[in-house]
Amino acid sequence: MDGGKPLSAGEKTFTIEGSGINKTGGRYRSKTGPLAAAKKAGARLYRELTEGQIKLREKKGKKDIKFILKETTRGSSKETFFFKVTRITLKKPLVRTIAGNTIETKYTYEVKKCGSDEKLE
């Protein structure tokens, strides 16, 4: 069984332990800390939802998704972090060309740390 790409020096790994949309798992890597990994994880959570599900959540007053991120790096203390992510629609989509493929970015994600006492919704 292959373990994937090896970690570079100073890189940490994280996984989603729980979320307001009942999604867990994934492997999010970061050299700078849990906030960068949380932004990747938050974007993934929003991609798991359909536009209809997102609109329904907003109609119910849930503008963000709360989730728990746990460090899974070997030898670490396996610390747990609590975040909430909000999807923000860009006024003008960002269009980039990478290796001949045109990529249009319509959203950005704002991630904030939150307390462990907040409910996951």
pLDDT of residue 18: 92
DSSP, residue by residue, 83-115: EEEEEEEEEEEEEEEETTEEEEEEEEEEEEE--
Q: Give the Cα separation of 22 and 6 in Å (integer).
A: 29
| Segments making up each domain of the chain, as ranges | 12-113
pTM of the model: 0.84
Residue range 90-104, pLDDT digits in tens:
999 999 999 999 999
Residue range 33-81, pLDDT digits in tens:
899 999 999 999 999 999 899 889 889 988 899 999 999 998 889 999 9
Where does the pLDDT of residue 2 fall: very low under 50, low under 70, confident under 90, or very high at 90 and above? low
Enumerate residues 6+ apart whose C-beta is below 8 A from 89: 106, 107
